[in-house]
A and B are shown apart, each in its own frame.
Chain A
Amino acid sequence: MSRRLHIEVFRYNPLDPNSEPHMQSFYVNEYDSMTLFIALNIIRDEQDPTLQFDFCCRAGICGSCGMVINGRPGLACHTQTRDLPDHIVLHPLPVFKLIGDLSVDTGTWFRDAGARIEAWVHNDHEQFDPKAEEVRMENDLANEIFELDRCIECGCCVSACGTARMREDFLGATSIARVARFYLDPRDERNEENYYQVIGNDQGVFGCMGLLGCEDVCPKHIPLQDQLGIMRRMLAIHSVKGILPKRVLEKLQHKGCCHESH
């Protein structure tokens, strides 16, 4: 069973003028149920204390440890070494600003995207009445909204997106799925025109080229491309309102988190 893993890690410290981007090899003995979280910590504890990487919950819930593992963006903490060959190559996520080695700045990127799509429920927040009963909602709808709230903002989908790699102002599947979450939520009072202003452009939903990288790497298995499709169709229809007859448009319209049958 016990293999000796050859782990090749991208090293670069942008703050050190003498640092050159390069790959560095480490060797680690594999144990049962070993994950990349365990392996990288062994490397840092025993071989190189300056190695930079990010872990937080180490349980696949927080999204800190996105990195490119043998070419595919994924979460290191829930990648078991037994599922990988004995030569493992680790790169930082592209698109995001490199902090050092495997560590990238996703926080700034996501906050910027959040501000651009105005990622909050738009209603009159001051109007909350502490004595009143909560506004009712169907449980199925609550579940659908939560389905999209499960995004952990690990950045894997953005790194796996060809458009995002080419054009740094592209909002990515994660942001558009976030808008889809608000579109689904009756508490958000924005209308289609409001959403159009936010993502009805080449930086938003019309920039997507349907490469499906986002959906294929999403560690939470969120149906991202489906959301992109729903939003694209909604906003495309919105843009030709008044040209095509209303009845045709309504037929094409489609809302929901997961797919109802066509």
Chain B
Amino acid sequence: MDASTLTLHVRKNGAGVGRLDVMQMLSGVLLIVFLWAHLMLVSSVLISPKLMNAIAWFFETTYMAQVGGPLIGLLIFAHFLLAARKMPWRAQETNAFVKHSVMMHHKDTWLWLAQVGTALLILVMAATHMWVVLTDLPITAAKSAARIQSGTWLPFYLILLPLAEIHVGIGFYRIGVKYGYITKANRKWYQRLENYMMGGFITIGLLTLIRFLFLTV
């Protein structure tokens, strides 16, 4: 405890907020990397279901899925807590921000609202997805295909996939902006990159879903 917690009239020393910001950024980066890697691995089914099964077997025998899975869940939750510090929880704030976005008709401002919205949905849906998958190990192409073909899960993934990719794509771009890597000079280029990557990953994801849909179990 220092004097600044006793009274507001003593200057606060210490690294607090900066570290929180760094952790938010790092957790975001890790999740971006994870999600892209995850998608690449799952999409291995496009090449052959056997390849996907082999990859899944590798992650399970090394216990990376059993341990890593819950850790990723925790990471998502931690990232949410850190980022939620900026969310407009008060009605007054939401109101102000929405009005502001409408007034400005400015893309980057709208993108943030998109990120807040997707974040809340992802939190619920990703948890559901993880519960379903991790309580029913091992992961195999056949089981995944069965889930997709069962009916209710297809719309679920058709929503979760773009939500996750949009959130991650915007997040990637915004980390670059906030930390000064994306600058006035190269912003246009990064915006295009962000769009291509989002489009690319969503396409791969959709193809994967289609493959599962038509995979004979």
Contact = CB atoms under 8 A, between A and B. Distances in A.
Contacts of B96: 165-166
Contact of A240 (B22, B88, B177, B185): B22
The 9 closest A-B pairs by CB, nearest first: A229-B180, A239-B18, A239-B15, A210-B177, A210-B178, A212-B108, A166-B93, A165-B100, A206-B21
A202 B184 contact: no
Interface of B: 11-13, 15-22, 25, 85-86, 88, 93, 96-97, 99-101, 103-106, 108-109, 111-112, 174, 177-185, 187
Contacts of A206: 17-18, 20-21
A238 to B, nearest CB: 7
Given A166-B96, A239-B15, 16 more contacts: A160-B104, A210-B174, A210-B178, A211-B109, A212-B108, A212-B187, A226-B183, A226-B184, A229-B182, A232-B21, A232-B179, A236-B22, A236-B25, A239-B19, A240-B19, A259-B183
B103 A71 contact: yes
Contacts of B108: 210-213, 216
Given A71-B103, A160-B106, A229 B179 contact: yes
A149 to B, nearest CB: 18
Contact of A162 (B12, B105, B109): B109
Contacts of B100: 94, 162, 165
Interface residues of A, number: 43
Contacts of B184: 215, 223, 225-226, 259
A228 B181 CA distance: 11
A232 B105 contact: no
Interface centre among B11, B15, B106, B180 (most CB of A within 10 A): B180
B18 A162 contact: no
A236 B21 contact: yes
A240 B15 CA distance: 7
A167 interface: yes
A240 B112 contact: no
A236 B18 contact: yes
A201 interface: yes
Contacts of A220: none
B18 A213 contact: no
A247 interface: no
B18 A230 contact: no
Interface string A87-105: 0000100100000000000
B178 A208 contact: yes
A167 B93 contact: yes
Contacts of A197: 11-13
B167 to A, nearest CB: 14
B113 to A, nearest CB: 9
A196 interface: yes
